[in-house]
């Protein structure tokens, strides 16, 4: 599932192409034979938004929000299989039948497919959505105090807490593993047992990692001084991460352990992220 850095990068790119412009919207999948429920919602959105000005595009965690004139917001959540594709010559590239929604500005279009949500929200619905989310480290209005307050109330492990979007918006499985590794935290430490310094460090690490991912368009969590002389931009595959989906820790060479947690596989290095003693 795309994590927050991907959604913020999409929002930035779409602002350059679409923001402030009158767009044409269509939904080939939603008007095809036996459309699924999600594509029906996209078809209704396309009908309502067609010919309107796209006034603003925002990202919040894993949610993309396209705000149109008339106080209408298109809410997109990509889920596991959703993706946006930029079409620089839309006239020469008709949308595929699987395209759930096309937003076309004439000289460029963006095609959405496979998303779990592509629905219109009224202002109260948008407010309710955002109220359920924790702070997003990539947003200028992010308040790390909300992150701290959410952790001190939770007995669950910090690894479980990081996957709770009401605690922190935008973090997924890769950044969970890589941020906990960077801070040296045992992932099974109860969230409320983290020290204030550890919470601050975790917030700062996550913010830096997400920003790097947004700029690069991919997740690279290996520090420059641990890249073996290879520029971070040139790292490929699992060499870009420390523990996620690795058999051995990139830093110490020891075995990486894995375990299902919160519906996803957790990865960690027990040597670099030692369990806390009962006295600590």
Which one of 21, 53, 192, 264 is the catalytic residue?
264
Per-residue tokens: 173: 């499985």
Mean pLDDT throughout 100-109? Answer: 96
Element (H, E) at 53: strand 53-60
Topology classification of domain 144-268? Helicase, Ruva Protein; domain 3 (1.10.8)
Write the pLDDT tens digit of every residue in 223-239.
999 988 999 989 999 99
The string of DSSP codes covering 207-238 is: HHHHHHHHHHTS---S-GGGSTTS-GGG--GG
Gyration radius of the chain's alpha carbons: 20
Domain ranges in the chain with CATH number 1.10.8.50: 144-268
What's the pTM? Answer: 0.93
The string of DSSP codes covering 74-87 is: EEEE-TTT-EEEEE
2 is catalytic: yes
For 106, other C-beta atoms within 10 Å of its C-beta total 11
d(CA 252, CA 176) in angstroms, rounded, equals: 19
Residue 103 has pLDDT above 80, yes or no: yes
In terms of phi and psi (left: phi > 0; alpha: psi -120 to 50; beta: otherwise), the region of 259 is beta
Q: Which residues of 9-40 are buried (b: 16+ CB within 10 A; e: fewer)?
A: bbbeebbebbbeeebbbbbbbbeeeebeebbe
- Say if strands 117-121 and 264-268 run parallel, antiparallel, or are unpaired: unpaired
The class level of CATH for 4-131 reads alpha beta
Mean pLDDT throughout 184-206? Answer: 97
Write the pLDDT tens digit of every residue in 135-173.
999 999 999 999 999 999 999 999 999 999 999 999 999
Which one of 9, 62, 102, 246 is the catalytic residue?
62
Residue 107 has pLDDT above 80, yes or no: yes
H helical segments located in the chain? 4-18, 37-49, 123-131, 144-152, 158-162, 173-183, 196-216
Domain ranges in the chain with CATH number 3.20.190.10: 4-131
Which one of 2, 28, 95, 135 is the catalytic residue?
2
Question: Are the CB atoms for 128 and 137 separated by under 8 Å?
Answer: no
- The chain-wide mean pLDDT, for the chain, equals 94
Mean pLDDT throughout 75-98? Answer: 94
3 is catalytic: yes
């Amino acid at each position: 599932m795309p994590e927050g850095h991907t959604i913020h990068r999409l929002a930035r790119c779409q602002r350059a192409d679409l923001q402030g412009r009158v767009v044409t919207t269509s939904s080939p999948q939603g008007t095809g034979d036996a459309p699924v429920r999600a594509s029906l919602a996209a078809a209704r959105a396309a009908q309502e938004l067609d010919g309107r000005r796209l006034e603003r595009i925002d990202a919040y965690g894993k949610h993309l929000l396209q705000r149109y004139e008339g106080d209408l917001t298109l809410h997109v959540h990509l889920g596991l299989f959703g993706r946006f594709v930029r079409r620089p010559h839309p006239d020469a590239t008709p949308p595929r039948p699987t395209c759930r929604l096309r937003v076309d500005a004439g000289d460029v279009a963006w095609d959405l497919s496979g998303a779990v949500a592509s629905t219109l929200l009224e202002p109260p619905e948008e407010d309710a959505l955002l109220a359920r989310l924790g702070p997003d480290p990539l947003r200028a209005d992010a308040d790390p105090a909300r992150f701290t307050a959410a952790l001190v109330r939770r007995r669950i492990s910090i690894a479980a807490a990081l996957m709770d979007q009401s605690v922190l918006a935008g973090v997924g499985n890769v950044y969970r593993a890589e941020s906990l590794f960077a801070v040296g935290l045992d992932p099974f430490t109860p969230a409320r047992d983290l020290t204030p310094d550890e919470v601050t460090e975790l917030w700062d690490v996550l913010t830096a990692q997400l920003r790097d991912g947004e700029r690069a368009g991919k997740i690279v969590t290996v520090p420059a001084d641990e890249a073996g002389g290879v520029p971070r931009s040139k790292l490929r595959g699992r060499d870009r991460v420390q523990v996620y989906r690795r058999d051995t820790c990139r830093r110490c060479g020891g075995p990486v352990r894995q375990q299902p947690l919160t519906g996803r596989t957790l990865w960690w290095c027990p040597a670099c992220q030692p369990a806390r003693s009962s006295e600590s």
